[in-house]
Amino acid sequence: MAIYPVIKYGHPSLRKVASEITDFGEEIKALSAGLIETMQVNSGIGLAAPQVNILERVFVIDLSLINEDLSPSVYVNPRIISSASFDVLEEGCLSIPGVNADVERALRTVVEYNNLNGEIVQEELEGLHSRVFQHELDHLNGVLFIDKISVLQRKMLEPELKKIMEAHSIA
């Protein structure tokens, strides 16, 4: 397995739309294992491939942080079919370290994705699982959680965002 460097706010790959995955061979399995390891080493609950500068439609969620009986899960070519009941909670992101903001997301979603064998899976997600799925799916579409906050909140975060860009030589 490999631990990937997590790219930070300001890196152009975080704003690009990731490509659909059509080959479910060893490459996607190795990438998924590396994403899980990278997420865990960085104490994250989720990680999308674009956050490690790989523009593929795959992300991982550490379900053991939601329910200790579960293990990390991989979502390939994910999409939301429907959503209901919205709530606001604070979010953060491994690519925007030290920055948190309140984001409105659906409490319940029906999602569809491919597993690592390429089979289509459909399931209903609730609570934190639904929220993390939506956050990571946004990464596959070049959207960051700070894009979903008010103009005033964003303005207040600008100094921190600028520091992240400067610290990672993305100015």
Alpha helices in 56-169, H assignment, sequence order: 127-140, 151-167
> 58 is written with which tokens?
């795959």
Active-site residue, selected from the candidate residues 27, 112, 136, 158 = 136
Query: CB within 8 A of 58, min separation 6: which ones?
Result: 18, 21, 28, 31, 32, 35, 48, 49, 74, 75, 76, 77
- For residues 56 and 49, the answer to whether their CB atoms sit within 8 Å is yes
d(C-alpha 44, C-alpha 118), whole Å: 25
Token pair for 36: 């899980």
Cα(32)–Cα(157) distance, integer angstroms:
32
- Is residue 136 among the annotated active site residues? yes
Active site residues: 136
